[in-house]
Amino acid sequence: MNIVMTPVGRVSGGRAEPIDDDWGASRAVIDLDPARFDDTALMGLEAFSHVEVVYVFDKVADDEIVSGARRPRGREDWPMIGIVAQRGRNRPNRIGITVCRVVSVSGLKLEVEGLDAIDGTPVLDIKPVMSGFQPRGDVFEPDWAREIMAGYW
């Protein structure tokens, strides 16, 4: 089965390079495609504090894709972890998802903070974060996962 998706927009601004850490203060604009949307598409989104942005790691080459296990960030002191148990960009379908703070909404432009996607990244979807969709219980992760996130935001 092939699935074809057309981006709803693109990331504008923010970082030019996919550096692993310090994304928390990164600001970028998501420009919706004016051929697909009118100025009402983002209406009401300004009432939300956060959005989930679904995007494509389009700069990851085919030979960089991982389908098995690897050590996160190549660190020998961390265990071998399957690609599905990681959030790295070398995923089989190159899909990324990030929860970002809404800074402003204007026409077809959504300014966000904390988006870990680079300038020009295709955006597949944007969804408001609603508390009812958040985890209903405690969230658990292994020590290496907490350590990897220490400098990320």
Report the C-alpha gap between 127 and 55 in whole angstroms.
12
Tell me the residue type at 148: I
- Percentage above 70 pLDDT, the chain: 97
How much is the average pLDDT of 121-135? 95
Tens of pLDDT, residues 42-58: 999 999 999 999 999 99
pLDDT of 152 strictly over 80:
no
- CB count within 10 Å of CB 87 equals 16
Chain centroid to Cα 120, Å, comes to 13
Give me Rg for the CA atoms of the chain. 16
Q: Tens digits of per-residue pLDDT, 138-151?
A: 988 888 888 877 77
pLDDT (0 to 100) of residue 76: 92
127/129 Cα distance (integer angstroms): 6
Return mean pLDDT, the chain.
91
Phi, psi angles (nearest 5°) of residue 105: -130, 130
pLDDT band at 26; cut points 50, 70, 90: confident
Mean pLDDT of 115-131: 96
What's the CA angle centered on 89, arms 112 and 74, to 5 degrees? 125
CB 98 within 8 A of CB 114: yes
Give the pLDDT mean for 121-126: 98
Q: In this predicted model, which residue has the larger pLDDT, 120 or 22?
A: 120
Give the burial class of 53: count Cβ atoms within 10 A of its Cβ; 0-12 exposed, 13-18 middle, 19 or more buried: buried
- pLDDT tens digits along 56-115: 999 999 999 999 998 888 889 989 999 999 888 889 999 999 999 999 999 999 999 999
List the one residue out of 2, 14, 103 whose CA is nearest residue 55: 14
